Every structure is written in C-alpha cells, then in structure tokens.
Structure 1
C-alpha cells in the first residue's frame, strides 16, 4: 500500500547537481589499512608466528592446552623505547616460563576516555594534542611488528573500529572494554576478527552485557564497515567462536573471589555458554591500586590450583617502574601516563613464583 508514496518521493528528487554547504574544516586523509600494511608488512615467518600464537590461545580457551594465559604489560604505551625495553624483558621471561604460562604483551595504543584526555599513541604520538593520527598509526604498527619479531604474542584493546584494520594481522588476542562491550558495532567487529577476543564485564560489575556480546560475536553479521582500501563497504563476517569473558570488577567492588567466579560459571552454564574466564587483576578488582594486583593474581591462582579449570588466565597492568605520572614536558622513563602499574621487578617475581607453584603443585 505504501509503495506508490515511496516511488513518487524518489521520482521527485532533484536531478541536477546538488551543492552541499559544509563549513566544517576539511578532514585530513589517512593512509588506508592496505597501504600501511604494505609499507610495514609482516614477513612470512612473522605471519606464521602470529597464526601459531592464536592457535595456542584457542587451545587454552578450549582446554586443549593446560597453560595459564597471562596478558601483561603497560596500561598504555606512550614511549616506544620504554615499551620495547619492556617487551625484550618479557620475551626473555616468556621463554623461561613457557611450560606453564603463555605470556602475551599488552600493546594498548588506544585509551577509552569517560570525558577528555590523552587517547593513546595511535591518536597523539607526540603527547601534545597535535593528534597526528597518520604518524600514530604507523608508529603503533611498527612497534607491534617489533614485538612480534621478539617472539611475543600481542594483545590490544580495539576501541575505534576503523583502526582495527591497521593492526588485525599482528594481534593474537583482543580485548573489548567495559564501556564498549554493549556496543553493537564492536560486537559486529569482533565477529569478523579471526582473533581470540575477551569481553569485559560492564562497569556496574554485571556480566549479562558481556554474555550478550559473546553470543552476538559468535554469529555471522552483515554490517557497515570499511574495506582494506578505505572505501565504505558491506562487511560480511562468519562469527567468532574464540571469545570469553573478562572479570574486571565494577562499581560494587571486585568479582575475582571464588564465590563471584562460581556465580559467573553458574550464569554461563544457564545460558549454555563455554566456561572460560579471565580475571583482570587491575581496575575495580584491585581498587585501582597497582600494589594490590599480586594479591588478586595469587587468589585466582589458588582457585585454579584448587581445581577450577574455568579460570584460563589473568591480566596485569605492569611497566618498567611502578605508579603513574601526569603528562608533562619532563616524563620519567618507564612510568605509565594512564593507570598506575606494577613495576617490572614485582611483576617478574610474581610470575616466577606462580610458575613454581604450577610446576610443583
């Protein structure tokens, strides 16, 4: 009944040239994902290594690999030199503990903001508000590529879906943050990544949003997106079966204790979802106190040693030196400019102690 109206409306559209009055500043062009990948490619060995790391993480998620998955590194990367020094140390430690742990390097180059603030290396690599995003994308990819060269699996939080195409071939694990887990756009993106992905519980501490996200990401989607050449496109995805929940606490407090984990497992079972849980030892689980992260880590480790195999891994925010600092003209080397982190010495001691407990349980 409505089709004639639609038809007449289309016929009545002007046929001549349409002049759009837009007084906004002209946008600056960025390189396409294809162009940046061509400029900074992975070689065949690195590509095979990323595939092997993804396979190992999938095996841990599916219970085929008994190792503990540990995503560890700076809250965010602001200094490539300090990040690479951290990565070199982590690579050496990863080789030593590889019988019991798979260590994954946090390479977070985007940071979510409740209001305003520095948004990460990909946005503002000079840390001065100049927002040279072309340089930020190139620097971020180059840095991740160097970490892969060191033999490390790479993890990041994908915040801006348009940025995902610049890094998707380098990543072995992806986080979807507490603020974006509810986003349909991020669920669609995750469904086509081909990378193991952790969805964090909401900032209120509830897991229903993350469970919905996992179910959504497991399905195929058609959605608006961008192809590798930077053109608007209809993107078709096949679904991502390699997803899991990440517990990071909430407004009501932590959710890493045995009682909270049991409640999460009961909810996952009720919804017939795979029981695979990672605990983020920072954020609300540590009360935003980096020195409490080891206590959270060891509590979860004891639950795992007591037989809870649904706990597949942990996350730690760690840098060369503990604490954090505000952005300024003179920054301390190896200290976070976002969330406060555990220092390297404490991190290394924590992981070595955990490996000994796992080896001689």
Structure 2
C-alpha cells in the first residue's frame, strides 16, 4: 500500500483532557479574545501586532521570548494588542525541510506526530501561563485545529492554503479572528473569495462528521507580497497597493473589512532587517488616508531573541531555524515606535 499506518492518533478531546488549559488561563483567554474581537469590529481603537519567530522549535526559547513580549505589552496596552506568534506548523514549498514542531518535537530527530501534538499543546499552555498573552498559530492542517482550539486567539491561513476549500470551510466554523493571506501569486481576488467563503456558513465533512457552520465575520485579509513567475518578490504594502486592495475589499461588502500587513516574506523580499522600514511606511500611509487608517488594523512581524537564522543542528538559543527574524532589541524598539505612531 501507498500508506503505511504508523499509529492511531488520539482524538482532540483525549489530548485536551490529558493536557487541559487551567480555568484561570481560560478566563484570561476569554478577556483577550474579546479585546482582539473588539479591535476587528471597531469597538476599540487598539492596533494589533502579531509578532514572533518564523517557527517555534524550542519551548524554552519561545516562552522566554513571549515573556519578554508580556513586559512590553504592559507598557503599550493602551495602544497595542500584542499577539505572540507561536507557529508550530511550517509549510514547505517542495515538501522538503523542517515542517514544524507538530512533525518534529526535536528538529534533529525523526518525525513523531503524536508527541508533536502533545508538545505543541504543552508549549502553548506554558507560554500563556508565563506571559498571560494568548497566541497565534498557522492552520496548515484544518483537522489539527481542534487540538488547539481552546488556546489560540488568532489563526493565520497561509499563502499556499488560502485557496483550499477545507481551510475556508473550517474557518467558517471558528469564533476567533482568522487572517487569510493573499496567495503567492498575489491574486487579491483569491484572498477576497476566501474571506467571503469563510464569512458564510457551510455544510461539509469534518473529522468524520457532517457539520454545519454559521460563518466567521472576523475573518479578514493579510497582505504578504507576491512572487512572479520568475521568482521575483513583489511587495503589496505600498500606499497605492493598499488603497487599491481596500477599494476592492469594500466593493465585496464583507463584514469588518480589515487588513493586516505581513512585513516579512515577499513584502521584505525576505530581507528581515527591512521590517522596521516597512512598518514605518505603513504607519505613514495610515496617517495620510482615512480609508487605510480604518482598514489597516495590524501588522505581522517575524522576530526572535537572536536575529537572523541558523541550521537546525547549530543549537543557538533563540535563533530561527527557518526564515531569518528580527532580533529582540530591534523588535522591542519597533513595538514602542508603533505604539507612538498608530
């Protein structure tokens, strides 16, 4: 057979019962979820900053980083909602390379999905325990969301997943904000179609059940730049790009029209150190357009303790083993800059 069945994976209910979220943390998440939802629904004026490493591969470093964010959050809480990126799934263009902690709890060892599910849930809970910040993760596999549904305050749908029917329909049953990225081609209509689908209810097959969803009005756009057929990165964070996208967005008559801008990936041409400059340009554009002031309600920033990236076997604490990230000192300064200029 083409499939070799390795082991039966416990249900999400079984894993959650084994590693429960304490009640006091569930209350913290409830409060945080409302604050983030209110920002998307324009019930508060707070700006969202989703920030953290490209991929979370080391629990100690991730929790250290998230605790640092918590100290900064306290200083900027009147202006900014910080959502830590704790991304445990890593899409790979060719299928090669490290696929995230879900696959490999230890990046230098063989994949183990069962241990990966436990490891990522444990890491998320520890990060919330130590920081009282509730995290974001990428939903690379729709069926895996249920293992983290009680700990995540934000979910991203990546550029390679945004046109997938199961991703769209799964988002329609979620009750937290979900950012739908533009595809790698940059086709904005794909992203807007995904948002439309996610905001409406559907009946479909999910985890062995026929389910019916009511739609997720908190789903929204994430701009991450594009790549043309020659492999050239094409940013879409400039003033004219955002204005054109905002107009197309409004023509669709979607709920809570919101844009989050990803400052890395194709927008930075994978030059992580350009992120502060890009952030400054976006904030400048918001000041010169009432449309952008209203619709651009947050940023995604790739950041970690040590700037740059490394190979998995180098074992440098707090340094990315996938895409390069902004270092902590520059990140902290950037968050304060954002708070002063939103």
TM-score of the two chains, using structure 2 as the length reference: 0.94
SS in 1 for 2:306: coil
Match of 1:147 in 2: 127
Match of 2:285 in 1: 303
Match of 2:224 in 1: 248
Match of 1:167 among 134, 148, 151: 148
Aligned residues: 331
Q: Does structure 1 conserve the Cα–Cα contact (< 8 Å) formed by 2:309 and 2:321?
A: yes
- Please tell me whether residue 345 in structure 1 is matched to residue 329 in structure 2: yes
Matches within 5 A, 1:1-361: 24-115=3-94, 116-149=96-129, 150-226=131-207, 232-252=208-228, 253-273=234-254, 274-306=256-288, 307=290, 308-328=293-313, 330-358=314-342
Aligned partners of 1:24, 1:183: CA distance in 2, in Å?
23
Aligned partners of 1:356, 1:71: CA distance in 2, in Å?
17
Aligned partners of 2:298, 2:306: CA distance in 1, in Å?
23
State the 1:129 CA deviation: 4.7
Aligned partners of 2:171, 2:65: CA distance in 1, in Å?
28
Q: Does structure 1 conserve the Cα–Cα contact (< 8 Å) formed by 2:62 and 2:127?
A: no
SS in 2 for 1:165: helix
Aligned partners of 1:172, 1:332: CA distance in 2, in Å?
29
Structure 1 residues not aligned, in runs of 5+: 1-21, 227-231
Aligned partners of 2:333, 2:266: CA distance in 1, in Å?
23
Match of 1:8 in 2: none
- Which is further off, 43-52 or 310-319? 43-52
State the 1:24 CA deviation: 4.9
Aligned partners of 2:215, 2:248: CA distance in 1, in Å?
22
Aligned partners of 2:249, 2:271: CA distance in 1, in Å?
29
Q: Structure 2 vs 1, CA of residues 24 and 202 (structure 1 numbering), >3 Å: closer, same or farther? A: closer
Q: Structure 2 vs 1, CA of residues 47 and 251 (structure 1 numbering), >3 Å: closer, same or farther? A: same
- Which is further off, 50-59 or 99-108? 50-59
Aligned partners of 1:26, 1:77: CA distance in 2, in Å?
27
Aligned partners of 2:338, 2:145: CA distance in 1, in Å?
33
Larger radius of gyration: 1
Aligned partners of 1:54, 1:292: CA distance in 2, in Å?
31
State the 1:60 CA deviation: 1.0
TM-score of the two chains, using structure 1 as the length reference: 0.89
Summarize deviations over 1:316-346 as a string: whole Å, max 9, x none.
0000010011222x32111100000000100
State the 1:356 CA deviation: 2.6
Aligned partners of 1:304, 1:98: CA distance in 2, in Å?
20
SS in 2 for 1:199: strand
SS in 2 for 1:313: strand
Aligned partners of 2:43, 2:166: CA distance in 1, in Å?
31
Structure 2 residues not aligned, in runs of 5+: 229-233
